Amino acid sequence: MLQNTSSMSENQPALSAEQGLGDAITSAYAIIRRQLLLIVSFALIGTICGVIYLKVAPPVYTAQAVIYFDRGNRPFVQSTLQSTVQSAVQSTLEEAPFDISFFESQMRMLQSDAVALRVVRKLDLAKDPEFTQSSAGLAESLRNYLSSFFSTEVPKSESELEQRAADALVTKTDAKRIGATFFIEISFHSHNPRRAAQIANAIAEAYIAEQMESKYETARHANEWLRQRLEELRRQAAADEQAVNDYKSKNQIVNAGGSLIGEQALTALNTELVNARAKTSETLARLERIEGILRTGSPDAMDATVSDALSSPIITKLREEYLSLVNMEADYSQRYGKDHLATVYIRNKIHNTLASISSELRRLAETSKSEYLIAKKRQEDIERELASAVSQSQATNRAQVTLRDLENAAQSSRSLHKLFQERLLESTQQQSFLFNEARLIEPATAPSQKKSPKTIMVLPLSLLGGMVLGGGLGLLREVLDRVFRSGKQVEDVLHVPCVALVPLLGEDSKPALADQESQIAARGARSIAYRSAALRTVVNAPLSCFAESVRSIKLAADLNGKKGCDVTIGITSSLPNEGKSTVAVALAQVFAQAGRRVLLADCDLRNPTLSRMLAPAATTGLVEVLSGECSLSEAIWTDHATNMAFLPVIIKPPLVDTGEILTSDSTERLFSQLRQSYDYIITDLPPILPVTDVRAAAHLIDFYFLVVEWGRTNIDLVQRALNTANGVYEKLAGVVLNKTNMDHIRHYDSYHYRYYKTNYKDQNAA
């Protein structure tokens, strides 16, 4: 009956690795088996709820209407207008493209409050209880019913009823696009099939009407805005043109013949200045020449000057007279001689003529000087006028920069005004030819079959829902069930072999007190008298499952210890009342039946339950032997049926320092003496968590067996106990699952259930 031992675990390391998937499937199947009643119960409850729902839920009918979007048959005039007017301003009535966002927007419009209110008013749905009464669930309806007794609700107004009906209509309306087509399907759910078709068609018609009104309102608002904007632009253009004129007047900017007056005057002044400078230079040159001749007084120079073809008639006449006299003087000189009076007279007349010419030249010099001064003054005046004209031209040029900006602004205002005039004309004509691309292509008809609830779906879903809920609760129970249920669970959690599953024994049948006294009298003093029949199960029923389980513990002890040689075994548990004392007695009896020298020692110095059960009349025990009050032989009791020795504990006053007793040198010497006298010393130790005695006795024990109560002891407590007692865990030979319910173990470990519930002797006989 050995289930797992340390040697088996060491020799077969690959076994657990190969059981991953199968182990998971087996675990899942086991959970379903354990929680099958809960799952079936909730599945039945879910099915009953589904049947009730089918009986009480009103039928729902769904009617569908289909809307088609088409822009291919729009009026020719609108297309012509849109193609003739090209501008930077986009038309306010420009259509959106047929894309996903367009259809999403239209489906949202179909489920809008505006369309719903239009349908409500058209069909007078505010008086229909289907749309005005609350369609809440059972809990909400019950709450509203109870609250009606404590509150005085004012009757709702007509607008509130319409809004409530519109909200209900929106919740019952669905709209979806049919594939990638230009069709949108409108679905409406109602308890009345004819009503569903009527409302579905009304929604489609209301949507189309809403679209037409929306486009008309958009066009009207666009026209009003365009007119207002056109008037603003007209005023703006007039203001910009007036600003141009005012700026020209302010800066004296006048155009004549395509150019500015200032530029024309500047050109004329430049010409006059050139002429004035030429005249001044000419006059100055003549004056300087005349003055130079006058300074020299040379007749040759004078004659040269006279020969300059001066325009003076006096000079011309005097020159002619001079030439005549010169000729006469030469003739007289040749004819009469140079000193002749006639020649001298002619010569004097020549000098007089030259003097007259010099006098005329001085007069001409004064005249040229006057002309020079006048020409120079004229030149200076023209230069001043030119400088002033240049300065004014520069200022005018600077002003023209701003003027050009003003003229550009005025031109832009005039262009924009003209553009808006054209746009207003286009918008006005578009308003006259409004076109709606949506039309009802498939009107809804009254459905012949209800949409919901569907029996073929409700009942399976109710059954499945109940099963899922039951399975979830069952899984929750499994998760919260933090106790040990199988040997594999012990090995997975504690990493220690589970050496036996000890069955739960029935109620104790206590022997009669007279029989106990007669046994003690017959066998002599210090004979063990069992006060509970469960303590003699191994002796009375050697072929029982209980006895076989204890033999599994014995086999594990033999494999872990030195065969037949002074082995001390500690039997302990995490908590009290897990049956460790019963297991200790049974294990000692099995060793004794095998012919071993066995001593069962009660080392639970705080609560010696084993001593009260086996030797209630004992007056000396372990403490007295350690203190020297009696010898070991005087304290030991004997079971004559199995030759098992028993060392009890007698607690007269309560002991406090029990750990000090177990760690004392006298205790170690006593156990050394016992090892020489017995093959196996089985110690019934106290639980680990309440006291520290188990850790104190670790130096006395070769290995331990931890007794865990099946289905009761918490896993976390066992782990905590082993974590606090490292010496125990290091020497732990295995775990014993005690008080196992063999009728329930099949839900957790079917393998062990079959072999524990089947008697090998019966199989062999068969």
Partner residues linked to 645 by β-bridges: 599, 638
- Tokens in use for 136? 């809440």
The rounded distance, in Å, linking the Cα atoms of 312 and 27 is 150
Given a cut of 70, whether residue 753 has pLDDT beyond it is: no
* pLDDT category of residue 96 using cuts at 50, 70 and 90: low
Domain interval for residue 328: 259-432
Given a cut of 90, whether residue 159 has pLDDT beyond it is: no
> Stretch 476-502: mean pLDDT, rounded?
86
Given a cut of 80, whether residue 305 has pLDDT beyond it is: no
* pLDDT category of residue 84 using cuts at 50, 70 and 90: very low
The rounded distance, in Å, linking the Cα atoms of 168 and 621 is 88
What is the tens place of the pLDDT at every residue in 728-746? Answer: 889 999 999 998 888 777 7
Given a cut of 70, whether residue 711 has pLDDT beyond it is: yes
pLDDT of residue 261: 63
- Specify the higher pLDDT residue, 178 or 409: 178
CATH code, domain carrying 550: 3.40.50.300
Cα angle 124, 194, 445 (rounded to 5 degrees) comes to 120
The rounded distance, in Å, linking the Cα atoms of 604 and 411 is 115
What CA–CA distances, in Å, run from 669 to 251, 568, 700? 132, 14, 10
Tell me the backbone φ, ψ of residue 166, rounded to 5 degrees.
-65, -40
Name which of 288-292, 373-377, 430-434 the model is least confident about: 430-434
Name which of 21-25, 44-48, 128-132, 755-759 the model is least confident about: 755-759
> Does 549 reside within a domain?
yes
Task: Give the Cβ contact number of residue 637 at 10 Å.
Answer: 21
> Does 513 reside within a domain?
yes
Which residues neighbour 52 within 8 Å (Cβ) at sequence distance 6 or greater? none
Given a cut of 80, whether residue 517 has pLDDT beyond it is: no
Chain CA centroid to CA 627, Å? 76
Three-state DSSP state, 733: strand
pLDDT of residue 705: 94
Per-residue three-class SS string for 205-264: HHHHHHHHHHHHHHHHHHHHHHHHHHHHHHHHHHHHHHHHHHHHHHCCCCEECCEEHHHH
The rounded distance, in Å, linking the Cα atoms of 193 and 685 is 81
- Whether 407 and 505 map to the same domain: the answer is no
pLDDT of residue 221: 77
Q: What is the CA radius of gyration of the chain?
A: 68
The rounded distance, in Å, linking the Cα atoms of 614 and 647 is 10
- Whether 419 and 538 map to the same domain: the answer is no
State the residue for tokens 């349908």. Answer: 119
* pLDDT category of residue 683 using cuts at 50, 70 and 90: very high
- Tokens in use for 158? 């007509």
> Stretch 601-623: mean pLDDT, rounded?
88
Task: Give the Cβ contact number of residue 290 at 10 Å.
Answer: 22
> Stretch 313-323: mean pLDDT, rounded?
79
Burial of 167 (0-12, 13-18, 19+ CB in 10 A): middle
Amino acid at 587: L
Which residues neighbour 282 within 8 Å (Cβ) at sequence distance 6 or greater? none
The rounded distance, in Å, linking the Cα atoms of 340 and 633 is 213
Burial of 709 (0-12, 13-18, 19+ CB in 10 A): buried
What CA–CA distances, in Å, run from 506 to 173, 322, 532, 741, 759? 69, 187, 11, 11, 18
- Whether 303 and 402 map to the same domain: the answer is yes
* pLDDT category of residue 514 using cuts at 50, 70 and 90: very low
- Whether 402 and 491 map to the same domain: the answer is no
Given a cut of 50, whether residue 90 has pLDDT beyond it is: no
State the residue for tokens 């089947």. Answer: 758
671-688 burial by CB neighbour count: b if 16+ within 10 A, else e?
beebbeebbbbbbbbbbb
The rounded distance, in Å, linking the Cα atoms of 252 and 261 is 9
> Stretch 644-656: mean pLDDT, rounded?
82
Percent of the chain with pLDDT strictly greater than 90: 10
> Stretch 345-349: mean pLDDT, rounded?
84
> Does 458 reside within a domain?
no
Amino acid at 669: R
- Whether 493 and 560 map to the same domain: the answer is yes
Given a cut of 60, whether residue 306 has pLDDT beyond it is: no
- From the list 499, 539, 496, the residue with the least C-alpha distance to 740 is 499
Name which of 92-96, 133-137, 311-315, 332-336 the model is least confident about: 92-96
- Helix intervals (H) in 251-340: 261-296, 299-306, 313-335
* pLDDT category of residue 755 using cuts at 50, 70 and 90: low
Model confidence, pTM? 0.52
Given a cut of 90, whether residue 645 has pLDDT beyond it is: yes
- Specify the higher pLDDT residue, 57 or 765: 57
Highest mean pLDDT: which range of 446-450, 452-456, 583-587? 583-587
pLDDT of residue 606: 86
Give residue 9's region: left, alpha or beta (phi > 0; psi -120 to 50): alpha
- Whether 661 and 733 map to the same domain: the answer is yes
What CA–CA distances, in Å, run from 3 to 27, 103, 460, 565? 19, 71, 44, 24
Q: Which DSSP symbol is given to 713? A: S
- Whether 508 and 654 map to the same domain: the answer is yes
pLDDT of residue 735: 94
- Whether 419 and 497 map to the same domain: the answer is no
Last residue of a domain, one of 417, 432, 447: 432
- Whether 391 and 296 map to the same domain: the answer is yes
Looking at every residue in the chain, the average pLDDT score rounds to: 77
> Does 546 reside within a domain?
yes
pLDDT of residue 509: 44
> Does 115 reside within a domain?
no
Partner residues linked to 438 by β-bridges: 69
- Specify the higher pLDDT residue, 664 or 234: 664
> Does 79 reside within a domain?
no
Count of domains forming the chain: 2
> Does 627 reside within a domain?
yes
- Specify the higher pLDDT residue, 308 or 297: 297
The rounded distance, in Å, linking the Cα atoms of 604 and 112 is 82
Amino acid at 432: S
Partner residues linked to 500 by β-bridges: 736
- From the list 360, 328, 334, 361, the residue with the least C-alpha distance to 347 is 328
pLDDT of residue 255: 60
> Does 60 reside within a domain?
no
Sign of CA dihedral 340, 343, 348, 351: negative
pLDDT of residue 764: 47
Burial of 92 (0-12, 13-18, 19+ CB in 10 A): middle
What CA–CA distances, in Å, run from 670 to 607, 619, 624, 676, 700? 21, 19, 12, 10, 10
Is the link from the previous residue into 447 a cis peptide, with omega within 30 of 0? no
- Whether 502 and 411 map to the same domain: the answer is no
Given a cut of 70, whether residue 9 has pLDDT beyond it is: no
- Whether 525 and 405 map to the same domain: the answer is no
pLDDT of residue 704: 93
How many residues belong to the chain? 766
The rounded distance, in Å, linking the Cα atoms of 468 and 312 is 143
pLDDT of residue 74: 55
Given a cut of 50, whether residue 486 has pLDDT beyond it is: yes
Per-residue three-class SS string for 130-151: HHHCCCCCHHHHHHHHHHCCCC
- Specify the higher pLDDT residue, 646 or 520: 646
Is the CB of residue 585 less than 8 Å from the CB of residue 614?
A: yes
Amino acid at 644: M
- Tokens in use for 194? 């004819």
What is the tens place of the pLDDT at every residue in 534-575? Answer: 888 888 888 888 889 999 999 998 888 665 568 999 999 999
Last residue of a domain, one of 412, 432, 452: 432
- Whether 559 and 414 map to the same domain: the answer is no
Is the CB of residue 581 less than 8 Å from the CB of residue 648?
A: no
- From the list 590, 571, 585, 576, the residue with the least C-alpha distance to 701 is 571
* pLDDT category of residue 750 using cuts at 50, 70 and 90: low
Is the CB of residue 288 less than 8 Å from the CB of residue 306?
A: no
Highest mean pLDDT: which range of 40-54, 215-229, 493-507, 578-592? 578-592
pLDDT of residue 77: 41
Is the CB of residue 97 less than 8 Å from the CB of residue 146?
A: no
